Amino acid sequence: MLELSPALAEYSDFFFEGFRNTLILAVGGMIGALVIGIVGASLRVWGGPVLSPVGTAYVEFFRNTPLLVQLSFCTVLFAPRNLNITANPIVVGILGLSIYTGSYVTEAIRSGILSVDPRQIEA
């Protein structure tokens, strides 16, 4: 049987809760980033002269801003303390990670779409 040191055994509940929260944030962030990435890439490729700059601005802004700044911004935006609104920190974290990672996924999907020969898209 696996025996843990006394310190690990004493705090094992905290470790498992942290592991569970990490998995929730990672999976939720990936799903949100994929959705945002598909929408953003669609805007950039097929958005036309009006919506394409919106997608470009999103990608350029969120790719060039540090993640910690974005997470702090999401915390202030989605859970303003002066209005006595409290939000679930997991949900705020998923939103922040999704917005940040979605900008990178947008570029990956956009480059994948543009790498396909236009004649193959028509076929």
pLDDT in tens, 69-115: 999 998 888 777 777 777 888 999 999 999 999 999 999 999 999 99
Q: Round to whole Å and give the CA distance between 18 and 25.
A: 10
pTM for the structure as a whole: 0.83
Domains of the chain: 22-118 (1.10.3720.10)
Q: Round to whole Å and give the CA distance between 114 and 121.
A: 10
pLDDT for position 87: 80
Q: Round to whole Å and give the CA distance between 57 and 16.
A: 39
* Tokens 């922040």, residue located: 96
> Is 60 exceeded by the pLDDT of residue 1?
no
| Tens-digit pLDDT profile for residues 6-56 | 777 788 888 899 999 999 999 999 999 999 999 999 999 998 999 999 999
> Is 80 exceeded by the pLDDT of residue 59?
yes
Q: Round to whole Å and give the CA distance between 96 and 67.
A: 8
52's tokens: 């394409």
